[in-house]
Every structure is written in structure tokens, then in C-alpha cells.
Amino acid sequence: MPVQLWVQRKIQYQVILTNSDKAPERVWRFYNQRACCENFIKEGIYDFGLDRVVSHSYAGNCTWFELLMLGYNLMNLFKEEVLNQKKSKTMIYSIKERLFLITGKLIHSAKKWILKLKASWAYRGEYERALSRLY
């Protein structure tokens, strides 16, 4: 008896309303880039605290913003150079969850510190590849 396999496809639809005379593909590419900027802003707000005003002085808030942008740029450099994500980049929240929030023990033995990671950790391979690229 033959077996039938039904594949459910998830199709996303997008509607763009514009008064542009450009070709539809050029319009889509233009608006697709704009949506990418919204992700940058969302990442800045949720992962770096870009929505906070930390001082009553203009200079203090400018300094805060510059430090946030430095952290953001360093994280993007980390994504590109260490995680090898040139085109499609993982959101910072996911990277923090996978690589920085690690369950393990930091022990001191023979005059050096050793980080003992859990053997069954799901992202161990990704962590070790990133660590090897740092050195």
C-alpha cells in the first residue's frame, strides 16, 4: 500500500502600497531594507536599553548613547568575525541565550581558573567554534 506524505507549506504574504513608478521588485527591495532597520532599532531597545534616559544632562545622555552604540558595533563585529555571520545575523538575544548564559562551574585548580561546562549542553559545539576563532 503506498504511503502518502502531506507537506504543509507556510507561505508568507506581504502587501506594499506605494505611489512609486519603480518596478515591483525594486519597490520590494527598497521596503525590505527599511524593515531591516526596524530590527536594528528593536534590538537596540530590547538588548541594549536604548529606550532609557539615564541622566538629566544632555551630555550624559549623549555619552550613554555613544557607549551603547560602541557595544552594539562590537557585538556586530563579534557576530561577523567570531560567529562568521556575514549576511544573515542572529539576534543578540539568541546569542546571549546560546553563548553567554552558560550553566557550568568556575573552579580554581593548580593556580588557574577552569570553566567546566555541562556535557549535555546543546550549544557546546557552537561555543567551542567561536572560542577557537578568538585565539
pLDDT value at position 40? 78
Q: How far is CA 95 from CA 25, 30, 46, 47, in A?
A: 32, 28, 13, 11
pLDDT value at position 72? 87
Q: Which amino acid is at 121?
A: W
Distance, in Å, from the CA atom of 51 to the CA atom of 28, rounded to the nearest integer, reads 29
pLDDT value at position 57? 93
What's this model's pTM, rounded to 2 decimal places? 0.61
Mean pLDDT in runs of 10 for the chain (135 residues)? Answer: 59 76 86 72 84 89 90 88 82 85 87 86 86 85
Distance, in Å, from the CA atom of 131 to the CA atom of 129, rounded to the nearest integer, reads 5
pLDDT value at position 90? 81
pLDDT value at position 87? 72
